[in-house]
Amino acid sequence: MHDSYVIDGYNLIHALGMIQKHLDAGGLEASRRWLLDYLAELFGEDADRVTVVFDAKQAPRGLPRHQAYRGLHVHFAPKGQSADDWIETLIANDKAPAALVVVSNDHRLQDAGRKRGARAWSDQTLLDFLEKRPRAPKTPTTNTEDRDGKMTPEEKKHWLEEFGLLESDPELKEFFDLDRFD
């Protein structure tokens, strides 16, 4: 059985130093997005086993309370509840608490997880785990600069098919008029 993770989102953002007391407009949303991108990247194919919970009072307008982001499950706590309350609900309703990892520096959440048989990790324990976790190899680059500027015949064919007709497009004619730069 694979582990699943419930992460206290704002708690982890604070632990990573991604938030200041006085945020510019959009700063909180940018911090959330950065955290989600970071977690999605590090969890990779296992991102679908990660739930990140944020307080709803700072949820972006128009977003659903539950959504998927790059495989991650993102929850904004229901109205009238804190993220901590909602995480406790998720812990209580988990069907396999022995495979659950609760990630927060909040002792209340750690205790709630342990009472159900889940593991409780601090934010630092998660970061240490992610740092040691093997990552999927990156796909080989097709950047021609990495091969002395030479394209394979297949690459050349692909790019000619992709962009070969642009020169004859009347809306783009001005971009191909090299005499206009004289």
Q: How far lies 35's CA from each of 16, 19, 38, in Å?
A: 9, 11, 5
Domain spanning 4-132 has what CATH number?
3.40.50
Give the tens place of pLDDT for each residue, 81-105.
Answer: 899 999 999 999 999 999 999 999 9
Q: How far lies 21's CA from each of 17, 33, 36, in Å?
A: 11, 18, 20
What is the model's pTM?
A: 0.71
Q: Of the segments 11-20, 26-35, 40-49, which one has the largest average pLDDT value?
A: 40-49
Q: How far lies 17's CA from each of 10, 123, 163, in Å?
A: 11, 12, 44
Tell me the domain boundaries of the chain: 4-132, 144-177
Order of strands, edge to edge, in the sheet holding 119-121? 66-69, 72-76, 50-54, 4-8, 100-103, 119-121
Of 4, 2, 26, 165, give the one whose Cα is nearest residue 94: 4
Q: Are strands 72-76 and 119-121 parallel, antiparallel or unpaired?
A: unpaired
| Cα separation of the two ends of the chain | 68
Give the tens place of pLDDT for each residue, 163-174.
Answer: 566 566 665 555
Check residue 101 and give its pLDDT: 98
Is the per-residue pLDDT at 131 higher than 80? yes
